[in-house]
């Protein structure tokens, strides 16, 4: 019974001492921890000596309880700072600090230097006219309230940002943006001994970019990334790039799907609003679209379709199904290609794009090849009809010579028939009346009639093709030469002008 009683008294004394040390650790300063720890250890040793025959396990338990109650191991190091130096410094900085007042309050504006790291540009949309980028934004300013002795810097947890004053920087052209929070919010706060604060964060934002698609897909777009202060005007805050153009990193090594970064530069300006003048920093970067993809995807297929439409020039005009099939197929295929090229572009805009111009040229040549066959076929049929009519007329005229009368034949080609009749009449030099008496035409009237007939014959000859097969022969040269000249002018204009 005495042994159990002694164990109970030892446990009771240990618990009481642990509670007392816990209360003491909550109220005392951290720099007095070492002294109090020695007292606690000596007190524990005294308790153990009074209980005499307490097992060793009870003493070990007592020591662990004392350590967890607020004591620390003397001489512990946390990076470059010891516990006796770091913790009092942070507590001293935060004591009496008002995060709602900016630094240099009523003593001039705060100068905030900024730098950017472009991690990626994920998507550039011509339909929405914006781009999505992930950036590392770093801001530096000096807060005299955070000066502490030494020449070192202190990195604190990003969640302590709620205890400090930070600039109200925002992106005015941003449509959507968010701060990365895996596994914690991606913030960095570093305080230097001279009061300089480094505040860095990683954000992803979808930013508007006004694009000129007139030369699409041989276009060059200039987009911007603007940084402004939301509530502090120029009397409170001044923005500047820490190293000029070198303040922006990552654009030189950036790899995009359709674009390549051609150049970039930074500028400092002012944002003018109704409420006043606000500081603004602007990053300008030029993007050149890679046209090789569009050459393989659109330009080469459309050019080959135009060349395919020229195959009909070497097919006989009598092969109506073959030539018609080639013409209609190429027209429909070209229409499908034009519709597919517009799927990645805005449906309604005021731009006549370069790719639309080229597809329109190709469609015109393909449709022209189909129209050429229609004209050639029509002229061939017309030529055959005129030849048949002339042969029939000559046959009837020869048959009527024995009777001394000239038959009157009515056809759509009256000019050719009149010409044949007039030639015969001029050779005989006379006409037969209803009574069979020859009537001699006066010479002046015959000359006037001949002149009118000659003019009519020439006018009709303009619309009559002597040999319809010459149409295909000329088309084999005219179409390729014209298409080549138009291509040269097209590429010179959109690439160099």
Asked if residue 415 is part of any domain, the answer here is no
Half-sphere exposure of 385 (CA within 13 A, CB side): 12
C-alpha to C-alpha distance for 333 and 305, rounded to whole angstroms:
8
- Assess whether 206 and 164 both reside in one domain: yes
Question: Residue 417 falls within a domain, yes or no?
Answer: no
Question: Are 47 and 97 part of one and the same domain?
Answer: no
Number of structural domains (the chain) is 3
User: Contact at 8 Å (CB) between 240 and 112?
Assistant: yes
Closest by Cα among 189, 93, 199, 85 to 146 = 93
Q: Would you state the pLDDT for residue 223?
A: 96
β-sheet bridge partners, residue 189: 156, 199
**Domain membership flag for residue 228:** yes
CA 430 to centroid of chain Cα atoms: 86
Q: Are residues 200 and 118 in the same domain?
A: yes
| 361 lies in the same domain as 488 | yes
Asked if residue 214 belongs to a domain, the reply is yes
Residue 7 lies in a domain: yes
Residues 478 and 490 both lie in one domain? yes
**Could you tell me if residue 411 is inside a domain?**
no
Strand partners, 239: 112
CATH of residue 352's domain is 1.20.58.390
In the block, residue with structure tokens 């970064």 = 261
Does residue 392 contact residue 255 with C-beta atoms inside 8 Å?
no
Would you mind telling me the total number of residues written for the chain in this entry?
A: 497
Give the residue ranges of DSSP H helices in 180-319.
292-294, 300-309
Choosing from 290, 321, 347, the residue where a domain stops is 290
Structural Rg of the chain based on CA atoms:
49
Q: What is the pLDDT of residue 342?
A: 78
Same domain membership, residue 295 and residue 285: no
pLDDT at 497: 80
Residues 318 and 456 in one domain: yes
Cβ-Cβ contacts under 8 Å for 185 (sequence gap 6 or more) = 158, 159, 179, 201
Those residues with Cβ within 8 angstroms of residue 304's Cβ, 6 or more apart along the chain or in another chain:
none
d(CA 427, CA 432): 14
Question: Looking at the domain assignment, is residue 435 inside a domain?
Answer: no
382: nearest Cα among 465, 438, 326: 465
Does residue 418 lie within any of the structural domains? Answer: no
Query: Do both 273 and 301 map to the same domain?
Result: no
Residue keyed to tokens 């007190």: 43
Domain span at 47: 2-74
3-state secondary structure of 320: helix
Q: Are the CB atoms for 22 and 36 separated by under 8 Å? A: no
Query: What is the model's pLDDT at position 35?
Result: 40
Q: Quick one: which of 408, 410, 423 has its CA closest to 457?
A: 423
The verdict on 11 and 113 lying in the same domain is no
| CATH code of the domain containing 132 | 2.70.170.10
pLDDT for residue 456: 66
Q: Given 290, 310, 337, which residue is the final one in a domain? A: 290
Domain end position, chosen among 74, 103, 125: 74
CA distances to 151, 152, 195, 230 from 103, in Å: 21, 21, 10, 17
**404-413 contacts, C-beta under 8 A, 24 or more apart:** 404/432, 404/436, 405/432, 413/385, 413/386, 413/389
Is the preceding peptide bond at 323 cis, omega within 30 degrees of 0? no
Same domain, yes or no, for 181 and 238? yes
194 and 241 in a single domain? The answer is yes
Both 192 and 286 in one domain: the answer is yes
List C-alpha distances in Å: 106 to 102, 236, 271, 407, 439. 9, 9, 23, 117, 125
Low-confidence ranges of the chain (pLDDT < 70): 1-90, 344, 346-350, 383-450, 452-453, 455-466
Query: Are 211 and 346 contacting, i.e. CB atoms less than 8 angstroms apart?
Result: no
Q: How far apart are CA 464 and CA 253, in angstroms?
A: 67
Report the distance separating Cα 231 and Cα 102, nearest Å. Answer: 12
Region of 382 (left: φ > 0; alpha: ψ -120 to 50; beta: rest) is alpha
């Amino acid at each position: 019974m005495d042994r159990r009683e002694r164990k109970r008294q030892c446990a009771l004394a240990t618990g009481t001492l642990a509670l007392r040390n816990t209360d003491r650790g909550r109220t005392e300063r951290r720099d007095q921890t070492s002294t109090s720890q020695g007292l606690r250890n000596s007190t524990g040793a005294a308790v153990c000596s009074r209980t005499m025959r307490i097992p060793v396990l009870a003493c070990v338990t007592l020591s662990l309880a004392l350590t967890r109650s607020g004591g620390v191991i003397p001489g512990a190091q946390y990076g470059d700072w010891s516990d006796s130096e770091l913790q009092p410094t942070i507590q001293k900085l935060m004591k009496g600090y008002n995060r709602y007042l900016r630094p240099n309050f009523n003593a001039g504006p705060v100068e905030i230097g900024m730098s950017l790291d472009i991690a990626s540009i994920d998507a550039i949309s011509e339909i929405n006219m914006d781009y999505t980028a992930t950036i590392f934004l770093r801001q530096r300013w000096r807060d005299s309230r955070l000066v502490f002795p030494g020449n070192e810097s202190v990195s604190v947890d990003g969640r302590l940002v709620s205890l400090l004053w930070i600039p109200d920087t925002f992106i005015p052209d941003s449509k959507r943006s968010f701060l990365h929070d895996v596994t914690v919010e991606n913030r960095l706060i570093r305080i230097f001994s001279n009061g300089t604060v480094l505040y860095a964060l990683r954000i992803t934002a979808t930013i508007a970019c006004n694009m000129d698609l007139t030369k699409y897909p041989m276009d060059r777009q200039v987009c911007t990334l603007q940084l402004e202060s939301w509530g502090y005007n120029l009397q409170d805050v001044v923005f500047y790039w820490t190293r000029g153009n070198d303040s922006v990193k990552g654009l030189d090594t950036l790899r995009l799907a359709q674009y390549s970064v051609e150049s970039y530069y930074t500028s400092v300006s002012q944002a003018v609003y109704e409420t006043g003048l606000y500081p603004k920093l602007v990053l300008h970067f030029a993007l050149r679209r890679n046209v090789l993809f569009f050459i393989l995807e659109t330009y080469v297929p459309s050019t080959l379709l135009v060349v395919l439409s020229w195959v009909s020039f070497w097919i006989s005009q009598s092969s109506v199904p073959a030539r018609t099939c080639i013409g209609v197929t190429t027209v429909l295929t070209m229409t499908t290609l034009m519709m597919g090229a517009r799927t990645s572009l805005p449906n309604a805009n005021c731009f006549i794009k370069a790719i639309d111009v080229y597809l329109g040229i190709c469609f015109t040549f393909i449709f022209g090849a189909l129209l050429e066959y229609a004209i050639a076929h029509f002229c061939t049929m017309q030529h055959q009809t005129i030849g048949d009519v002339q042969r029939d007329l000559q046959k009837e005229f020869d048959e009527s010579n024995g009777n001394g009368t000239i038959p009157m034949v009515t056809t759509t080609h009256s000019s050719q028939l009149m010409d044949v009749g007039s030639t015969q009449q001029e050779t005989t030099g006379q006409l037969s009346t209803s009574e069979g008496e020859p009537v001699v035409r006066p010479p002046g009237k015959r000359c006037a009639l001949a002149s009118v007939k000659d003019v009519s014959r020439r006018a009709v000859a303009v619309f009559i093709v002597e040999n319809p097969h010459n149409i295909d022969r000329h088309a084999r040269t005219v179409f390729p030469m014209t298409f080549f000249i138009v291509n040269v002018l097209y590429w010179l204009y959109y690439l160099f002008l």
